[in-house]
Amino acid sequence: MNNRRLFTASLVLNVLLITFILAFAFIYRDKIFQRFVSMKGNPQIVMYGNSITAQGNWVELLGRMDVLNNGLPGLCTYHFVQLIQTHVVDLKPKICFLEGGINDITVGVSQEKIQANFTLLLATLQKNGIIPVVTLTMFEQNDPVSKSEVESLNRFLVEYCVKNNITYIDINPQICDSTGLKAEFAVDKTHLNAKAYEIWAKEIKKVLLAKNL
């Protein structure tokens, strides 16, 4: 009888342990995937941007194990310039998806400085043989001042990309209306929910397919 109780208790504990491990792996699966990509080295794709990039589960969204998420929450384009060597160039990816600008706008960085930083970022990628792809800055919810600044920045980015034969992605028409980011695609004023990331990922997949990556 005691042996049976011990066996039953052991079985229950093992089931609970396995359940816990599986739940942990599911919840933190993207972090686990990212750790694997980092250890493997030489990712083909680097996602580089602010928290909007950082919060994307890119391995799962893109369905591939050669994408590294090097998003930098809370940082501005100036910081991206300072860190691009270690966070992108040294990794020698084939392509880098660049997103940013909204933090600069929030803290009052001038358009001239933001545009100069983007110019340097894109030139650095091209100089190092890395294909740059710009995701145009996304609108915030119900903030006319921010929206006007984003429009100015995006006009510059589109003009620069066209002039320099750089691909850009614009998901604003799909997730925004005349007031800015739609509530159905937002978790707060600035950040995206899972539905928005799926839209973004579809556009990224189109670019990768077009570039045979």
What is the per-residue pLDDT across 29-80, written as a single tens digit (0 to 9) for each?
555 555 555 555 679 999 999 999 999 999 999 999 999 999 999 999 999 9
Picking from 208, 188, 152, the residue whose alpha carbon sits closest to that of residue 55 is 188
For residue 21, the model assigns a pLDDT of 47
For residue 14, the model assigns a pLDDT of 64
Phi and psi, residue 171, nearest 5°: -100, 0
Tell me how far apart the alpha carbons of residues 29 and 150 are, in angstroms, rounded to a whole number.
33
**pLDDT tens, residue by residue, 159-181:** 999 999 999 999 999 999 999 99
Tell me which fold the domain 42-210 belongs to.
Rossmann fold (3.40.50)
Q: Is 47 helix (H, G, I), strand (E, B) or coil?
A: strand
101's CB contacts (< 8 A; 6+ apart) are 77, 114, 118, 137, 150, 153
Tell me how far apart the alpha carbons of residues 149 and 106 are, in angstroms, rounded to a whole number.
10
**pLDDT tens, residue by residue, 124-168:** 999 999 999 999 999 999 999 999 999 999 999 999 999 999 999
Give the pLDDT band (50/70/90) at residue 26.
very low
Do residues 12 and 37 make contact, with C-beta atoms less than 8 angstroms apart? no
For residue 7, the model assigns a pLDDT of 59
For residue 41, the model assigns a pLDDT of 61
